[in-house]
Amino acid sequence: MARVIPLADARASLPRGAASPRVTPTGVLADAHGRPLRDLRISVTDRCNFRCIYCMPKEVFDRDYPFLAHADLLTFEEITRLARVFKTHGIEKIRLTGGEPLLRKRLDHLVEMLSAIGGLDLTLTTNGALLARNARELKAAGLNRVTVSLDALDDGVFRAMNDVDFPVAKVLEGIDAAAAAGLTPVKINMVVKRGVNEHEILPMARHFKGSGHVLRFIEYMDVGHTNGWRMDDVVPSAEVLRRIGDVLPIEPIEANYAGEVATRWRYTDGCGEIGVISSVTQAFCGDCTRARLSTEGRLYTCLFAIQGFDLRALLRDGSSDERISDTVAAIWLQRGDRYSAIRSEHTVTLPKIEMSYIGG
């Protein structure tokens, strides 16, 4: 577990002359590298119904694993309160993650509460197992889009990767349900691991080409310290693009917005687009605008973080919104994370927070 930084230390580290940077004239903060705070990813549960080999390996996350007690989780009211505070600092997009977020009961109620804030792009990342039964109510509550994790079309490969024998057909049903509900464009995330599923790259591309969905290929990353990551397991995005382009011609297109994690490519025949997320081979730390809030209210400023800041303590000790806002500002102003840009043999061994806890 990553260590927690006392909030007093965070506030004490504010740059000189910035003791109360609650809201700038434009409502935007910039970190030590000039990066604004635009995106907040909120983990609503540390539990998952899959045991994917690159994220939550079964040999570590067994039935005796100490998952968080319900009383330790942020309530929906606490999450919404923090979302309002973050919005004053420039947040435009909130992504709900996990674990598997659809395991959190009445998640549509949280979506409704966040939607009532106004001016936020609300999205959700899910493994798709429970999506078919929840898509319509999530859309009605105010969710804009979903991203679905799907690492193979071959049923045997997919069952082996999720390690709970879950069929791929059920995830495809969830994708169809999301599209029918209007949670579009649906994005499909495929983590590619050498020797496991790289032979599924082209079948996945063919399947989703022309569907209106956006398929994205993610390099296998060294998130956490339990997935046994090795550089030899990484299939570089350049290889992914070459494999697809040799059969289905593609060309690069511009990003949708500054800080977009995926590099976009479109099929030259006009039948849709794909993306590649290259955190290992092409670091995109330079324009990262994302903060992450864990299930129990700890704020992390990087996916590869080894330390977090306990905001739940402020929520539950009677602190004002102003004090919470000042603390968030202090944390972001001192942010200097650029893990992917400095990745080395040493950084790979650091006790980083697990993806299943912090969200992707």
The alpha-helical segments, DSSP class H, found in the chain are: 7-12, 76-87, 107-115, 131-141, 155-162, 168-181, 201-208, 237-245, 312-315, 321-333, 339-342, 345-348, 355-358
Residue 128 to residue 117: CA distance in whole angstroms: 27
Helix (H, G, I), strand (E, B) or coil at 252: strand
Q: Which residue has the tokens 């944390």?
A: 331
Helix (H, G, I), strand (E, B) or coil at 233: helix
For residue 200, give the DSSP letter.
G
**Average pLDDT of each block of 10 consecutive residues along the chain (360 residues)?**
48 42 56 93 95 85 88 97 96 96 97 98 98 98 98 97 97 98 98 95 98 96 61 91 97 86 94 92 81 95 85 97 96 82 57 67
- What CATH architecture is 3-358? Alpha-Beta Barrel (3.20)
pLDDT at 348: 56
Residue 277 to residue 189: CA distance in whole angstroms: 9
Instruction: Return the number of other C-beta atoms located less than 10 Å from residue 195's C-beta.
Output: 9
pLDDT at 225: 56
Torsion of the alpha carbons at 49, 52, 53 and 58, rounded to the nearest 10: 0
Interior CA angle at 126 toward 263 and 72, to 5°? Answer: 120
pLDDT at 53: 83
Q: Single out the residue of 129, 243, 228 nearest to residue 175, CA to CA.
A: 129
74 φ/ψ angles, rounded to the nearest 5 degrees:
-65, 140
Residue 299 to residue 107: CA distance in whole angstroms: 21
Give yes or no for a contact between 191 and 157, defined as CB atoms under 8 angstroms apart: no
pLDDT at 310: 97
CA 127 to chain centroid = 12
pLDDT at 68: 93
